[in-house]
Structure 1
């Protein structure tokens, strides 16, 4: 290994040169929660809370195992949560409480 090679590390999104199955490119309608996730990303960026570069780094910070297990928008949500925790915008407890509240409302209307 050369002097600088140890500084370079393949990130989860860096899949160039790796063997992979054929990519199936299909257009599909986004699910309602995926549309809301995309809108959230736009709002966070517009208000300079979490920008696109932070989101990209946040997804990469999930690690290759999580990136492989989560869907595209699930990765975004996990990255947003982790970044919000790091910036002390919300605590894990506050997020869990809000998620429980939303789940209760959902079940009440189902």
Structure 2
């Protein structure tokens, strides 16, 4: 549990493995871009606005992110090879969610 942490900003820190599960009601921004995470873990935050896992080593599309209220979801430049089959997964839960999936290889 993170308590009152509103931002986690850790780009380009050479972090690797599975991102730990996070439970927070105050987290608004999560930026772990430019690391080597292979799994996004479970992020539970009702108030998160921006999730950035770009330039990591994610191989699966983290479908739980789409049920968040995030306005920005950036998964670009990851070697994602496992995608959900249901088209509904690609429809953001919030109409204003900006999804960045460029250069995700399948």
TM-score by length of 1: 0.21
Decide which structure has greater strand share: 2
From the CA coordinates, give the structure whose radius of gyration is larger.
1
Structure that is richer in helix per residue: 1
